[in-house]
Structure 1
Amino acid sequence: MSVFVLDKWKQPLMPCSEKRARRLLAAGRARVQRLYPFTIRLVDRAQAESVLQPLRLSIDPGSKGTGLALSRIEESINAATGEISEPVLHIAALVELVHRGHTICDSLRRRAMLRRSRRSRNTRYRAPRFDNRGGNRTGWLAPSLMHRVQTTLSWVRRLQRWAPVTELAQELVRFDMQLMQEQAEGHSIEGVEYQRGELAGFEVGEYLLAKWNRKCAYCDAEHVPLEKDHIVPRARGGSNRVSNLALACRGCNQKKGSQNVREFLREQPERLNRILAHVKAPLKDSAAVNATRWRLFTELKAMGLALQTGSGGRTKFNRARLGVPKSHVLDAACVGRVGEVRRTAQPVLQVKCSGRGSRSRTRLDSHGFPRGHLMREKSVKGFRTGDMVRATVPASSKKVGVYIGRVAVRSTGSFNVQTATTTVQGIGHKHCRMLMRGDGYGYQLIAQD
């Protein structure tokens, strides 16, 4: 993974390799600015003295996580036609942002249950007020959904502070519904070259994989090649629309042949009813994900950078055409106009949203009763829960050793340090040295297979 570089005024420069960063630090020309992602600051150079190259930040939004890929753009001109060919992307950094929308949803649900139970008790309570119930304003999103938008925008701005990003690319929609409609009717969309030929099949294929959870509809087989199957066969008057398509393994597809699904599953009524109901059911969270992506698109467009969009089918087409391994972050690198993707085999920085604690003074048990009280002060001896520290315990202690990880503070000054493998309890604050302040995120470098 490339190292982010800032000039002496903390303005972003081009990322460099780890080897070059070590040389700059050893020569005294740079200082460590940040640990995760690793960032250095030069002490003898300004941005005006450097040559900057175009960088693209590609975004692949998702329900549970968002993939971010920062790449250097290499444009090339076709010598025969004189036209600019598809750009070659050299990946500089891969970031996987793990959201906590489900945690927020669960917290709001528990809060609603407690408030509902409090109102139903025969206890003193304020009279109901109705002036604050004016309805949701236009563009309102639920807190669990707005969290996805805000954390993605926050990391886009962070990467802009650490690297000179010149353009953005976002996967705007998962499936091109217009393209699938045109394909079912036997037409092609004119005037848009990338939406012809093989890409139309990728749009439908990606939709079916998501709808049927990458399983065979008739035997639930996974991790096997899946084929498109007509629920009502073409020989019986069935159409090519996605509402008449399912996924089947080779054995089930050949065994079904030209039979209607009702004939094929005559002896399995439960599976038949489940398939017929699943055909009519929409994709899970499709409306919420689409609303989130359009809100994100509006916010990214307001940043003033060049922004290009693409569908999930085109992303899969680029990945298959270029032979890029399947992963969330590499999907982000394949969004939009891509001619070639290089430097794909590098570690991924997983950023997990953990929050900044709670304002609650107590912990509750499963019945909603308080089971303990928390400290009033967040800071103890200059440390806060979530800070990254390096604890060097001397030989005179039973816990002798060096531990690097997140700290959990206690009012007594005896802290717990959570490392990558275990949690060490009872480490004195005098043995701890601050590495990075907690910012509401947990960081982990993950090597790709």
Structure 2
Amino acid sequence: MIRIYVIMTILCLYQTYTSFGQDCPSKQELQSTLRQVHKLLSAHEASYLQNLRSLRKKLNLLQSSTARQATKTGNGTCPKLEVPNNGRKLGKVLAVGHEVHFLCEPGYELVGSETRVCQESLTWSGQQPICRNINECASTPCLNGGSCVDEVNRFLCTCAKGWTGPTCQTPIPTFFTIVTNVSTSSPTSSPYSSSSSPSSLPSSPFMHPSRCTQFLGSTRCTCEAGFTISGRDSNLCIDIDECELFHNGQAGRLCVHNCVNTPGGYRCTCPPGYNLTRDSRNCKDIDECETRQHNCTRDQLCVNTYGGFQCVRVECPRIRNATYVKTSPVRCERNPCPVDNRACAQAPNSITFHYLSVVSNLSAPRVLFRVSAARVLGDTLRFGLLGARGRRHFTVQRSGRQTGQLLLVSPVQGPATLEAEVEMSELERRAMLGRYVTKVTLFVSPYSF
């Protein structure tokens, strides 16, 4: 309808008003109509130009996307990374934004970047890692002047004279000889000869007269089990000190801890906190926490250790801008954070406490604890060692895509208490999604069995 009205208006401009009569609008109506037509054309022109610019922008974006896709198709990956000697590589995708992780075999430590990311420049972040042999002798495990020889995943001690054991911790006993007084008037006679009466023999549980028999003009003397004929007098039996004689036998020591010589035999003893096993040779730790032989209060946690126990109090940390609540005896979880509280969001989501007990001079390297994620929300999972009391004894390595492990890298001489904090971080496009901290306390026994 508007097109017909515009055509009629234009015709009226070229004809006289009288020829069309009252069919043509007035002059004021014509001017109003022309203004409306002008606005309509301007609006159409603006819409056309806007559509043209939008189409040009879409064409440019399509051209750029096609060019990038062509570049990626041609050579859009980072170069292949080599697997370090005595190590492993996790991750096969070489595209931009993807990560590759590196691990070392037991007995080796990682030097370089544990994780490398393929950057937009098609180069890898960080440095190519290597697996370096851990020097087990760095902690000077050999005692009493012994020299240490480093080997892969172990060490050997060459002990000084008078010492023995894996770490030269045991003195070699000095054998003694029982000397009896010999009469100066008769060098060939013995004070305990057959002519001596039984009452003249020494009264001691560690020596007694032998049992002698005459046969075909010869005398044969014997002793009870655990005794032997004295070197000076066949009529005298002296006790065999099994603890000294078999201290370093080929079959090992008679007793794991302490050997006590008895008349005609021996017995093994254990330090406080241990009981003898059924073989009467080894020692077994007493679990004071399970048998309730402890004095921990209700608000304390009883932790069994080798030879004793520890009463620990688990308390949630006090961190500024964040609050925690204890959800189990050994776990604290962060309360929900306000939307605008960024400092609270950076605090650990949870803090877990674990307590371990080990013997003194435990062989290393050894896995103490593993941290694993049941499910991963982000695209990256990282593990690290935040802090430690005795840091040189610990390291953290990745053992799988979703698992990290805390390793003891050198033996520890007990008694000692060490602490380590293992952090597991979850990220999405390098943005932090959550942090989870595990505090591990290690109680080292003073004994090595």
TM-score by length of 2: 0.19
Greater percentage in helix: 1
Greater percentage in strand: 2
Structure showing greater relative contact order (alpha-carbon pairs closer than 8 Å, 6 or more residues apart) = 1
TM-score by length of 1: 0.19
The structure with the larger Rg is 2
